[in-house]
Amino acid sequence: MDRATGNAPVGGTKMKKLTKNLLAGAMLVASTAAASAGSQLAPGISTGIPLGAPLPEGLYVISIPSWGTRTTTPNADVFAAAPAWVIWSTPWTVFGGRVLFDTVTPYLDVNVRGAIHRSGFANTFLDAQIKWDLGGGLFGGLQGGVYLPAKNELNDLGIAHNWSAFQGIAAFSYLKDGWDLSSTFVVGTGHDAPKGSDPGAAWFNADFTATKKFDKFEVGAVAFGSFDLSAPYASYDKQSQFAVGGLVGYDFGPVNVQLKLTTDIYEKNYNGKDTRVWANVIIPLWNPKPAPTSPVVAKN
């Protein structure tokens, strides 16, 4: 403060304004998992995964790391990962559908070049699923779950939120003759709040996969879009984007690995287009032993 005039120094005011603008930019580019600047579930995260089909009974881990950059000014780099998306495919069925439970806590590292660098875990998600074999290679499923509150330095960027929210999913997959034609539709409730007090728009994601396996190799195309459904405060600008890309994969036997490259072909109110490199690594941790094919006869 200038003692003679009682006014804040011009340099300090400019610095505060610059920091505020950069922080706002970070909120936009961190849309990989941010409800206040996009979806809580990373748009495109289910591409390559036939989410409509039930996994065989057992316990699985899917690791989904990604790194991308959005062409804001300055550019913003976002590393996002589901380090351990744990899925339990139970032995139970309801109305003919397999029951599954899963949970994931995403990790993010956000770097607005030369300005802001934040990292940490976003909101933990708890989910229940039911998946049906509809016949002829067609599968479908429903999921519903809740994001638990989280409080850390990612709250300032609108990535982690100190409130809970609901998420619902409808997924469909056609799996036959090596084809994977899958679509996933996701909706999240967000959280209305005054500007500056951790708001989050309601949102909708759509992920699409079209791949073909040739023995152990897999190639194809992926696409995804995300769309804000509500404005959590009066001056909020709804955001939307649509991205396309390619996928290559290889089945190593116990582990299936897929690599994806995607880029935005359309964006609104993100102030820049995102280009992202992904990996899907699917690891079965446990499957029940198959029942013996013939009765066991005790020896005398």
Report yes or no: 119 and 111 within 8 Å, Cβ to Cβ.
no
Q: What is the per-residue pLDDT for 27?
A: 37
For residue 3, being part of any structural domain is answered with: no
Whole-structure pTM value: 0.85
What is residue 17's predicted lDDT score, i.e. its pLDDT? 37
Q: Taking the chain (300 residues) in consecutive chunks of 10 residues, what is each chunk's mean pLDDT? A: 39 38 38 52 97 97 97 93 96 97 97 91 97 98 97 88 95 98 97 79 97 98 97 90 98 96 97 97 93 50
Cα–chain-centroid distance for residue 226? 11
> 3-state DSSP helix/strand/coil percent for the chain, to nearest 5?
10, 55, 40
Q: Is residue 294 part of a domain?
A: no
172 falls within a domain: yes
pLDDT of residue 51: 98
Cβ neighbourhood burial of 197 (10 Å; 0-12, 13-18, 19+): exposed
Domain that includes residue 174, residue range: 10-32+40-286
Q: Which CATH number do you get for residue 51? A: 2.40.160.40
Q: What pLDDT is stored for residue 292 in this prediction?
A: 60
Q: How many distinct structural domains can be found in the chain?
A: 1
Task: Please check whether residue 173 lies inside any domain of the structure.
Answer: yes
Q: Domain for residue 95, yes or no?
A: yes
Whether 75 is in a domain gets the answer: yes
Looking at the domain assignment, is residue 132 inside a domain? yes
Residue 298 belongs to some domain of the structure: no
Which residues are within 8 A (CB) of 131 and not within 5 positions of it... i.e. 6 or more apart? 52, 53, 54, 97, 98, 100, 139, 140, 141, 171
The residue whose two tokens read 């982690």 is: 160
